[in-house]
Chain A
Amino acid sequence: MNGIHDLGGMHGMGPVNPETDEPVFHADWERRVFALMMAIPGSVYNIDEFRHTIERMEAAEYLSTSYYEHWLHCLEVLMIEKGQFERAELEAAWSNAASAANGSA
């Protein structure tokens, strides 16, 4: 698709900002997202399905979210599309996580 991901030659994307002594991950949730994607058996999805799920992100969202947020979006959408869980189950997990966080706070 002629999507926002196809960035080769685009102007106006701003300067490249290399980070000095960049860590491999910037937050613990990035570690978890990376590991989750890697741990899911390869028979569930292939790399092109993975890439295309990210390419289908809404363009402004694609540009305003970070790399591992793309992966998180991809995990949620692709696993539902692949029938691994239902949207309702994901929403239940969100509210459980929220109450757990409130309880421990």
Chain B
Amino acid sequence: MADHDHTEPPSDTALRVKALESLLLEKGLVEADTLDAIIQLYEHNVGPQNGAKVVARAWSDPDYKARLLADATPAIAELGYGGVQGEDMVVVENTSDVHNLLVCTLCSCYPWPVLGLPPVWYKAAPYRARAVSEPRAVLKEFGVEIREGVEVRVWDSTAELRYMVLPERPAGTEGLGEDELAALVTRDSMIGVALVEST
């Protein structure tokens, strides 16, 4: 045990963070403008719009889709996306017979370069607990009804592979270009808790 009574941390979390930041700056472990650059990158530049473009390309170009499913990391890099928490990517395809769902039961693993940072619910206990014990009930809560004959595959990200779902292309989108298709693709559809709708 320590040789003096511990001071309790400030109850105001923002204050506690400020204290930590000042300490790390003082120690030269971080630089202030670096922190701003990191926040800018993940709050504004990297997000599910990247994954949506990957999906739209796969829907539009069968050769690209084949490359994406065979070896996702270089295929995603073709569109200029990659990096931290997406160094080793796997893309799994939803079909009329198979529905894929992503979870990290142990922490919060998520493919940042294509989906950005994960939403709160993905990181919280209810989803992490239930996505494996009752995936169909969870899907239903998200509004996705899985037919009896469809196989549900849950991907639990225990290792340093990162997963993304290639959702099914909705009917009625035959004439659309890649940009229009990308606009239809949601973050949730690439986690596997939503389907892509044509409108």
Tell me the A residues contacting B by CB distance below 8 Å: 5-11, 13-19, 22, 24-29, 31-36, 38-41, 44, 47, 51, 54, 63, 66-67, 69, 72, 75-76, 79, 84-85, 87, 89-91, 93-98, 100-101
Contacts and interface: CB of A to CB of B under 8 A. Distances in A.
B67 interface: no
Nearest to A47: B160
Given A16-B138, A41-B29, A96 B22 contact: yes
Most buried by B among A5, A39, A76, A101: A39
A29 B23 contact: no
Dominant SS among interface residues on chain B: helix
A29 B17 contact: yes
Contact of B126 (A6, A14, A27, A47): A14
13 contacts: A5-B107, A7-B105, A10-B125, A10-B129, A16-B138, A26-B120, A34-B38, A35-B39, A36-B17, A36-B35, A91-B6, A94-B19, A101-B18
A29 B34 contact: no
Dominant SS among interface residues on chain A: helix
Interface residues of B, number: 57
Given A16-B138, A28-B14, A32-B21, A94 B7 contact: yes
Contacts, number: 168
Contact of B119 (A18, A34, A91, A100): A18
A66 B17 CA distance: 14
B17 A32 contact: yes
B20 A75 contact: yes
A27 B132 contact: no
A97 B18 contact: yes
A79 B128 CA distance: 28
> Which 8 pairs across A and B sit closest by C-beta, in order of nearness?
A8-B105, A35-B35, A97-B19, A10-B129, A93-B19, A29-B17, A35-B38, A39-B30
A5 B158 CA distance: 13
A63 B128 CA distance: 13
B14 A29 contact: yes
B35 A9 contact: no
Contacts of A54: 107
B16 A94 contact: yes
Contact of A18 (B21, B117, B142): B142
